């Protein structure tokens, strides 16, 4: 098993983007913030893009609301050698901004008012992932930071952010929408002759179910959207290119739990098949055993205290909680060993769990120290 050299990764001037990915609830956001803080203190001009930080973490970074633009982290006594900037993604505003840039003022207003746009920009599954990648592209394009650290959305699958741009494109670009919306546009079933009968039946069925108004909205949206589609696709292509470039590293974050590690395995395989550069796996919140005392010995001693005459509830508790911890650590080691056997090439960093939540920069700095080993 090799260990990730986190400091070498952060110090390397060729490193421009670090993407933290993994399934939900494994501590991606905190890891991203801790890496960013460490990079800033080691001299990099760093920005961290967070998706949905816990309130106290957001406060620690001085983020009180969705800003959608990076703000410099300024806390008394915090004087990093470089700079630390942070932002929280505002999905809707990012989408709106993108529409404004591509559509020109008049058409943009039309689009933003369209009810179908409102659905796509807030409810389409994958919009958040798409916008996170769009924002990354924007931050990279400014050239204002020399290191961008990105958190990824708590998706159903950790892979969603890789697929979201394509999925949204195919939903908005396909022949499907033209065929389906054509009747509404033409005010009739003019395409019936040219498409197969099954499809026109389907279009009719869809229209019966979702209603004419929605199809009209969708049609209007598509007409306005058509002109900017090329621009969208071009940006998605550029972001994908950025993700594949040598300046980008992926860190897969996983808790030492079966589900999270299974998801991490999928991710590692996917990254390698997409030739995306993987820096390693962060096994987050491990519980290493601190005291050199076997579980069996501790339990035997606890039993003898319980059965004996001495009243030593504290010592008994200490022994039992130590035995619990030995058992937990052994399970975590087993799970990680299984992962390493399946992916021997993946470097690993283990980050012991903190006892409490992170609520200030000192807490983040502690995690950074643990990350660096």
Using CB under 8 A as the binding rule, whether residue 337 contacts other proteins is answered as no
> H or E stretch including 87?
strand 83-88
Using CB under 8 A as the binding rule, whether residue 185 contacts other proteins is answered as no
Using CB under 8 A as the binding rule, whether residue 236 contacts other proteins is answered as no
Using CB under 8 A as the binding rule, whether residue 355 contacts other proteins is answered as yes
CA distance 42 to 30: 18
Using CB under 8 A as the binding rule, whether residue 218 contacts other proteins is answered as yes
Closer residue to other proteins in complex, CB, 14/209: 209
Measuring CA to CA, which residue among 286, 300, 290, 295 is closest to residue 327? 295
Dihedral Cα 206, 209, 213, 214, nearest 10 deg: -60
User: How many angstroms separate the Cα of 48 from the Cα of each of 80, 212, 232?
Assistant: 15, 44, 24
Neighbouring residues of 317: CB distance < 8 A, sequence distance ≥ 6: none
> Which sign does the torsion angle of CA 75, 78, 79, 80 carry?
negative
Measuring CA to CA, which residue among 344, 348, 352 is closest to residue 369? 352
Helices marked H in 26-78 — which ranges?
28-41, 55-60
Closer residue to other proteins in complex, CB, 16/322: 322
Name the burial class of residue 98, with classes exposed (0-12), middle (13-18) and buried (19+) by CB atoms within 10 angstroms of its CB.
Answer: buried
Measuring CA to CA, which residue among 24, 32, 27, 26 is closest to residue 6? 32
Part in contact with other proteins (CB under 8 A); list of ranges 80-88, 166-174, 239-247, 268-276: 166-174
Using CB under 8 A as the binding rule, whether residue 296 contacts other proteins is answered as no
Closer residue to other proteins in complex, CB, 15/121: 121
Tell me which residues in 103-132 interact with other proteins (CB under 8 A): 116, 119, 123-125
Using CB under 8 A as the binding rule, whether residue 197 contacts other proteins is answered as yes
Closer residue to other proteins in complex, CB, 119/272: 119
Closest distance to other proteins from the beta carbon of 105 (Å): 27
Part in contact with other proteins (CB under 8 A); list of ranges 93-101, 136-144, 276-284, 301-309: 301-309
Cα 189 to chain centroid distance, Å, stands at 44
How many residues touch other proteins (CB under 8 A)?
Answer: 74
Closer residue to other proteins in complex, CB, 107/287: 287
Out of 170, 227, 245, 294, the residue judged to bind other proteins by CB under 8 A: 170
Out of 1, 75, 194, 201, the residue judged to bind other proteins by CB under 8 A: 201
Out of 194, 210, 337, 369, the residue judged to bind other proteins by CB under 8 A: 210
Using CB under 8 A as the binding rule, whether residue 229 contacts other proteins is answered as no
Using CB under 8 A as the binding rule, whether residue 275 contacts other proteins is answered as no
Closest distance to other proteins from the beta carbon of 26 (Å): 7
Name the β-bridge partners of 284.
351
Closer residue to other proteins in complex, CB, 147/172: 172
Site string for other proteins, 22-51 (x = CB under 8 A): -xxxx-------------------------
Between strands 17-21 and 147-151, the pairing is parallel
Out of 246, 273, 275, 310, the residue judged to bind other proteins by CB under 8 A: 310
Out of 76, 79, 193, 208, the residue judged to bind other proteins by CB under 8 A: 208
Which tokens hold the place of 110? 């039309």
CA distance 279 to 298: 39
Name the β-bridge partners of 281.
252, 348
**In this structure, are residues 136 and 239 in contact, taking their beta carbons and an 8 Å threshold?**
yes
Using CB under 8 A as the binding rule, whether residue 66 contacts other proteins is answered as no
Using CB under 8 A as the binding rule, whether residue 357 contacts other proteins is answered as yes
Part in contact with other proteins (CB under 8 A); list of ranges 1-9, 99-107, 273-281, 321-329: 321-329
């Amino acid at each position: 098993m090799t260990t990730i050299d986190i400091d070498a990764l952060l110090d390397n001037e060729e490193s421009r983007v670090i993407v933290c990915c993994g399934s939900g609830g494994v501590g991606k956001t905190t890891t991203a913030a801790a890496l960013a803080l460490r990079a800033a203190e080691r001299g990099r001009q760093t920005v961290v893009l967070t998706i949905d930080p816990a309130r106290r973490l957001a406060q620690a970074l001085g983020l009180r609301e969705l800003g959608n633009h990076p703000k410099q982290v300024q806390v008394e006594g915090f004087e990093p050698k470089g700079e630390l900037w942070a932002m929280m993604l505002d999905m809707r505003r990012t989408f709106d901004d993108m529409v404004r840039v591509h559509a020109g003022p008049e058409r943009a207003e039309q689009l933003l008012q369209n009810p179908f746009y409102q659905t796509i920009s807030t409810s389409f599954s994958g919009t958040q992932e798409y916008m996170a990648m769009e924002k990354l592209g924007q931050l990279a394009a400014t050239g204002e930071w020399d290191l961008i650290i990105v958190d990824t959305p708590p998706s159903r699958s950790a892979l969603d952010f890789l697929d979201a741009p394509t999925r949204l494109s195919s939903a908005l670009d396909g022949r499907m929408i033209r065929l389906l919306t054509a009747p509404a546009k033409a005010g009739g079933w003019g395409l019936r002759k040219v498409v197969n009968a099954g499809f026109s039946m389907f279009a009719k069925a869809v229209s019966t179910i979702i209603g004419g108004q929605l199809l009209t909205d969708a049609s209007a949206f598509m007409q306005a959207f058509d002109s900017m589609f090329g621009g969208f696709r071009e940006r998605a292509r550029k972001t994908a290119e950025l993700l594949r470039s040598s300046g980008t590293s992926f860190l897969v974050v996983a808790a030492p739990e079966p589900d999270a590690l299974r998801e991490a395995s999928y991710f590692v395989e996917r990254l390698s098949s997409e030739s995306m550069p993987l820096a390693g796996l962060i096994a987050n919140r491990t519980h290493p055993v601190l005291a050199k005392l076997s579980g069996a010995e501790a339990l035997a001693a606890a039993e003898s205290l319980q059965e004996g005459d001495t009243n030593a509830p504290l010592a008994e508790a200490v022994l039992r909680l130590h035995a619990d911890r030995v058992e937990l650590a052994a399970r975590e080691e087993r799970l990680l060993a299984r992962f390493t056997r399946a992916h021997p090439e993946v470097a690993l960093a283990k980050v012991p769990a903190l006892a409490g939540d992170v609520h200030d920069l000192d807490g983040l700095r502690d995690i950074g120290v643990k990350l660096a080993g």
